[in-house]
Amino acid sequence: MEFTITGANAITYPYLHIWDWRVAIYLFLGGLAGGCMSMAAVANLRPDKETPKSQACCWRVPMMTPVILAVGMGFLFLDLQVKQHMYRFYMTLQPLSPMSWGSWILILVFPAMIAFALSTVPESAMDNLKDGMIRNLIIKAQNSMRPLAKLNFLLGILLSIYTGILLSSFMARPLWNSSILPVLFLNSGMSTGAATMILMARRSSVKLFFTKVDIWLIFSEITVLVLLYYGQFTSPEASRESILPFFTLTSQYFPYFISILTLSIVLPLAIILKFLEISSDHSENIELTFKQKFEMNASAVLVLLGGAIIRFALVYAGQLSKFTGLS
């Protein structure tokens, strides 16, 4: 006797697609905000301790940082399915849930970054402020600029690394479940933070300093990225298969192949531009030429682009990776 069973069950097979561009943008902006916090802190801590507190050399990036993070959190909010229950994040602390303590980190980070931003308001801007609460707050914050900068440096690292821990804690997704991923996100966050400093800084000495910093950060980022893929390749089957989309040129995996191809062009190109940049004359009295400005801004934009590509590629590809089988 022959049995023929027609399985019409393909529609019941699981297809995981839970987090899209909104989460990728949130992770990118979260890492960028963390990088901006740390790099702006470095910029303001670099001058001698005797430097008057009012001479904070960098104030536009600290001002932008809360806005960057708020926009990122806005995208995270858009991704929530039950938006009216958002307050539930702050009704409990689940110590084993990175998303739970991450939501508390965001609450901690905001006052610190706003206080730091206030502490960096330059004297020229103070003249335009009327007497009032904000002016008093700024004066109080300015007295603690250096401690606030140190706090922001640490919180920036915490924020950047958290965006990677959020993904790496998911054992069920082999591509994400790597201890290298938080390091990559931290590195990328710091690198994009340095790129933002380059874009926003007016003085060529500051641009030059962060260009040098960013060269090391990009080298480190490329190394960690290669280590991530190498670690996955030398791990069990599910982890090895999780990186296949990046190295398979088919219509299904085309975006992932393009992402790794783009990264392998964008990041080295950014390094080359930065080397060209630091080889130029950047003395304080010399005005930057168009070519120098172009090299600086182009390399910074490439770094930001690379950071965004990393988040998008890993968020989407991670959802393709899974364990299979009975045991």
Residue numbers at the binding site for another protein (CB under 8 A) = 5, 7-9, 11-14, 16, 18-19, 79-83, 85-86, 88-89, 91-92, 94, 96-100, 102-103, 169-173, 319, 322-323, 325-327
**Structure-token pair, residue 291:** 């070519």
Q: Smaller CB distance to another protein: residue 81 or 128?
A: 81
Q: Which CB sits closer to another protein, 93 or 126? A: 93
- In the complex, least distance from residue 256 CB atom to another protein, rounded to whole angstroms: 18
Using the minimum distance from each CB to another protein, give the nearer residue, 67 or 99.
99
Shortest reach from residue 182's CB to another protein, in Å: 16
**Residue 16 or 226 with smaller CB distance to another protein:** 16
CB of 174 to another protein, least distance (A): 10
Handedness of CA 206, 212, 217, 218 (dihedral sign): positive
Closest alpha carbon to 312 in 222, 203, 188, 213: 188
Nearer to another protein, 293 or 322 (CB): 322
Distance between CA atoms of 182 and 162, rounded to whole angstroms? Answer: 7
Query: What DSSP assignment string belongs to 73-120?
Result: HHHHHHH-SSGGGGGGGGG---TT-HHHHHHHHHHHHHHHHHHHHHHT
Find out whether 173 and 322 touch, Cβ atoms under 8 Å. yes
**Contact in structure between 149 and 41 (CB atoms under 8 Å):** yes
Q: Which residues contact 108 (CB under 8 A, 6 or more apart)?
A: 155
Nearest to 160 by CA among 102, 104, 223: 102
Q: Which two tokens stand for residue 247?
A: 């190295």
Distance in Å, CB of 100 to another protein, minimum: 4
Taking the complex as a whole, how short is the minimal distance between the CB of residue 13 and another protein, in angstroms? Answer: 7
Count of Cβ atoms closer than 10 Å to residue 160 Cβ = 28
Closer of 18 and 133 to another protein (Cβ): 18
54 Cβ partners below 8 Å, 6+ apart? Answer: 122, 123, 142
Name residue, tokens 């959190």: 73
Write down the least CB distance from residue 79 to another protein, Å.
Answer: 8
Nearest-approach distance from CB 236 to another protein, in angstroms: 8
Nearer CB in complex with another protein: 88/291: 88
Tokens found for residue 275: 């080397």
What phi and psi, each to the nearest 5 degrees, are found at residue 93? -130, 115
Measured from the CB atom, is 17 or 130 closer to another protein?
A: 17
83 vs 130, which CB is nearer to another protein? 83
d(CA 304, CA 217): 13
Q: What's the CA gap between 246 and 252, in Å, rounded?
A: 11
CB of 168 to another protein, least distance (A): 11
What is the Cα–Cα distance from 293 to 281, expressed in whole angstroms?
A: 12
CB of 87 to another protein, least distance (A): 9
